[in-house]
Amino acid sequence: MHSPDDIQYAMEATRVLLEPDRRIDTFGETRFEFQLLSELMDSTGQIRIRTGEVEALKPQIVRPDGYANIELEGFEEKARERFDALVEKLRAQGQDMAFLNYGFRFKRGQVKEELVHDSMDVVRDRVLEDARIKGNPARAIIEGVDDAWEVSIFKFSFEMIVRSWAINRFDFQRRGLL
């Protein structure tokens, strides 16, 4: 289990280097592919690249207990505790958490890991160039912390929810659901 300081550090150190072109669909499933770059804590010049996908399943209006209804599928055993700690940190920082009342369900697919022996700058540039060439609108490139990498995925997911919230709210209102 990560300490609150570990979670805070991972949140502060996580940067989305390339954001997907699309947002979370209001009434459907949305799949994002990610590559998470992280430098090994005890080794310089060794970068772990985790490649996988995270899926936001159809948001639904849920009971007032809010974020407790957000489901996490495919994440490690302690993911719920990390997620709850992240929510509390964001809440303490004054983040508007109203969007959590819409019952998101996150599913993480299988994650592949690759260890590259090079500097972060070189690996970052190479991965970003590859992403630009391929032009996948659902791809995200994230730089995070190696031992708390799931916190980096949660932060990315939160950012996608926040960026999608205005569109989702409009869609709910248009259908008379708000």
121-176, pLDDT tens digit by residue? 999 999 999 999 999 988 999 999 998 898 888 888 878 777 776 766 676 677 77
178 falls within a domain: no
The per-residue pLDDT for range 23-80, each reduced to its tens digit, is 766 666 778 899 999 999 888 889 999 999 888 766 554 444 444 456 666 676 766 7
Evaluate whether residue 83 is within a structural domain: yes
The string of pLDDT tens digits covering residues 82-117 is 777 777 777 777 766 655 555 556 667 789 999 999
State how many domains the chain has: 1
Residue 87 included in any domain: yes
Domain, as residue range, for 52? 4-173
Contact 114, 36 (CB under 8 A): no
Is 167 a domain residue? yes
User: Which amino acid is located at 60 in the chain?
Assistant: Q
DSSP state letters, 82-130 = HHHHHHHHHHHTT---GGGGG--EEEE---EEEEEES-HHHHHHHHHHH
